[in-house]
Amino acid sequence: MNDECDVLFYVLDQLDEKSLKRFRFYLSGASSVDGLKPIPNGTLTSDVTDTVEKLLQTYGKENSLKIVKEILCKIGLNSLAVEVDNWMKRKDRYMNQMVESDEYQDWMRVSERHKAAMKKRFEYVCEGTVEGKKSKLNKIYTTLQNVRGRCEGVNTEHEIMEIEPQSRSLKWQDTEFDFNDLFSHRSWSKGNTKTVLTEGIGGIGKTVYIHKFILDWAEGKSNQHINFVFLLPFRKLNSIKDEQCSLLKLLQKLYPELEDLKDQRAFEHCKVMFIFDGLDESQLKFNFENTSQTVDKEITNLIEGTALPSAKIWITSRPAASRQIPSEYINQVIEAQGFTGPQKEEYFRKNLNDMSLAEKVIKHMKSIKSLFIMCHMPLFCWILATVCTNLDRTGRWSSQEFPTTLTEMLIHFLFVQINVKNKKQYNKYEDNKLELLKRHNRR
Ligand SMILES: Nc1ncnc2c1ncn2[C@@H]1O[C@H](COP(=O)(O)OP(=O)(O)OP(=O)(O)O)[C@@H](O)[C@H]1O
Ligand SMILES: [Mg+2]
């Protein structure tokens, strides 16, 4: 018997009809293993394969065996319980030897190299700012609000209604939420949350949040029990989705620091996390029945849990697209809600180097209600910061030209961006909008 799945089938295949019935009875009601929930009555069929699948989905591999062992004792099948126990002990011994082996030490070296490479990759953000400058992620990062659950009954009458938190009738199971808790060592060993989905509208900060999560890990500030974190943006996967490629080859393509890894077993014995960013941009076909060997299928297998069942999966998506993944594969849904009032202010203080300008922008934002509401979206804060910096630089802050409506703000932002291009070509800013547009159209 190679893995937990084999043991589960071995045990259940030995039970006669009466024992199986009693086994399911205990499974659906009375397990006392360390806070684990019972499987709801009525969701278990008499089919053994279904029962094994349900066990693995609900509890994960290790906990399934613990529960099975306990129930076997309860229904008087002690010798079978001892067999399960012996298998678990053998596996523990094997794992301990594994950790001391040269092979494992090699994997750890690759893991350290990967961590260092990830730190380099995510240390800076390139925001396409006016000066095209790179900023340190830790410097500009402002805490975002995340909420557990799924939002229901979004008011769709007006876009501002849609994004203003108070205007929605919310049904959340919980309030503030930190991803570091979800993927903590303790929750990892409990094994009951495998796949998490972060939902949030465009520009609400899902990608930046992920980058910060990875950077904190790579800098040794959090989640040090995790050995590998792989970010796989769907936009990148789209271009290679039909290639025939094993998971290891795919990862080596995107993460050259893995080139020394000879086979995929490292990922079975280490703690690995896959982050899939931007499901809304995905062109992958999540065919959970298909058996091909394409990148498409490799990703589906990971999400489904048939490949690397112990790996954690984190997917981000704009709300409308998230249902491409059947809900049975998602254990938790977290909504990214953007900035609260004080976080909006913190954003400008962190992102604008000039403190007096930051205070001016904050005052201005607070004085116009639509601006204040829109600023719950980090992307909009960035637009406002860009526009205000430009107005300040050109000495037009207090003039009639100051944008007061949303449309004026976006138009001004567009001019600022066109000017960035103009500066690259003519090495100067053009403040005459008509002239700027003429030049832009000539190209
Ligand atoms: N926590 C943050 N601190 C500071 N700035 C942020 C933060 N989150 C987002 N931003 C700003 O907002 C912009 C948009 O954020 P991001 O790309 O993460 O949004 P998104 O939710 O991934 O959007 P999309 O659905 O389009 O992918 C970033 O480029 C950055 O300027
Ligand atoms: Mg994104």
- CATH of residue 133's domain is 3.40.50.300
Residue 33 maps to which CATH number? Answer: 1.10.533.10
Centroid of ligand 1 to alpha carbon of 182 (angstroms):
21
3-class DSSP assignment, residue 16: coil
DSSP β-ladder status, 272-277 and 312-317: parallel
The residue whose CA has the least distance to atom 12 of ligand 1 is 379
Cross-sheet strand order for the sheet of 228-233: 172-176, 145-149, 332-338, 195-199, 312-317, 272-277, 228-233
Q: Which residue has the tokens 């009458």?
A: 157
Ligand 1 and 248: CB distance under 6 A: no
**What's the start-to-end Cα distance of the chain, in Å?**
68
Residues 152 and 174 in one domain: yes
Residues 59 and 129 in one domain: no
Ligand 1 and 208: CB distance under 6 A: yes
Centroid of ligand 1 to alpha carbon of 154 (angstroms):
22
Residue 217 near residue 112 (C-beta atoms within 8 A) = no
Q: Which helix H or strand E contains 116, and what residues bound it?
A: helix 102-122
Copy the structure tokens of residue 310: 């112990």
- Which candidate, 30, 311, 67, places its Cα nearest to that of 188? 311
Centroid of ligand 2 to alpha carbon of 435 (angstroms):
34
Residues 171 and 238 in one domain: yes
Check residue 403 and give left, alpha or beta (phi > 0: left; psi -120 to 50: alpha): beta
Last residue of a domain, one of 100, 121, 154: 100
d(CA 227, CA 325): 26
Residue 418 near residue 440 (C-beta atoms within 8 A) = yes
Question: For the packed helices 48-74 and 78-100, what is the interaxial angle rounded to 10 degrees?
Answer: 100
**Domain count along the chain:** 3
The predicted pLDDT at position 358 comes to 95
d(CA 203, CA 209): 11
Copy the structure tokens of residue 366: 């607070």
Torsions phi, psi of 361, nearest 5?
-65, -40
d(CA 279, CA 287): 15
Residues 330 and 353 in one domain: no
Residues 408 and 273 in one domain: no
Residues 280 and 200 in one domain: yes
Copy the structure tokens of residue 331: 């254990």
Last residue of a domain, one of 299, 321, 338: 338
d(CA 83, CA 320): 48
- Which candidate, 326, 306, 257, places its Cα nearest to that of 117? 257
Beta bridge partners of 114: none
CA dist 436 → 63, 316, 417 (Å): 65, 38, 11
Pocket test for ligand 1, best of 143, 199, 379, 381 (most atoms within 8 A of CB): 379
Instruction: Count other C-beta atoms under 10 Å from residue 71's C-beta.
Output: 22
Residues 206 and 311 in one domain: yes
The predicted pLDDT at position 35 comes to 62
Ligand 1 and 338: CB distance under 6 A: no
Residues 364 and 251 in one domain: no
Last residue of a domain, one of 68, 100, 132: 100
Ligand 1 and 309: CB distance under 6 A: no
Residue 334 near residue 148 (C-beta atoms within 8 A) = yes
Q: Which residue has the tokens 């998602």?
A: 330
Residues 326 and 356 in one domain: no
Check residue 11 and give left, alpha or beta (phi > 0: left; psi -120 to 50: alpha): alpha
Tens of each residue's pLDDT in the chain, 443 residues: 667 888 999 999 999 999 998 888 888 875 566 566 778 777 888 888 888 888 887 887 888 898 899 999 988 999 999 999 999 999 888 877 877 788 888 899 999 999 999 999 999 987 665 455 688 999 999 999 888 775 443 333 344 444 444 433 344 444 566 777 778 776 776 666 789 999 999 999 999 999 999 999 999 999 998 999 999 999 999 998 888 888 999 999 999 999 988 888 889 888 999 999 999 999 988 877 666 678 888 898 899 888 888 899 999 999 989 888 888 889 889 999 999 999 999 999 999 989 999 999 999 999 988 889 999 999 999 999 989 998 888 887 776 777 878 888 888 888 888 877 777 777 777 777 777 777 777 65
Residue 361 near residue 352 (C-beta atoms within 8 A) = yes
Residues 92 and 109 in one domain: no
Beta bridge partners of 276: 232, 315
Copy the structure tokens of residue 399: 């003039």
Centroid of ligand 2 to alpha carbon of 202 (angstroms):
7
How many Cα atoms within 13 Å fall on the side-chain side of residue 265?
A: 7
Ligand 1 and 278: CB distance under 6 A: yes
Residues 96 and 115 in one domain: no
Chain centroid offset of residue 443 CA: 40
Residues 367 and 315 in one domain: no
The predicted pLDDT at position 38 comes to 79
d(CA 245, CA 254): 12
Copy the structure tokens of residue 181: 């808790």
Domain interval for residue 405: 341-442
Q: Which residue has the tokens 């769907």?
A: 234
The residue whose CA has the least distance to atom 24 of ligand 1 is 202
d(CA 436, CA 434): 5
Burial degree of 287 (CB within 10 A; 0-12, 13-18, 19+): exposed
Ligand 1 atom nearest residue 201's Cα: 25
Residue 373 near residue 163 (C-beta atoms within 8 A) = yes
The residue whose CA has the least distance to atom 8 of ligand 1 is 205
Ligand 1 and 144: CB distance under 6 A: yes
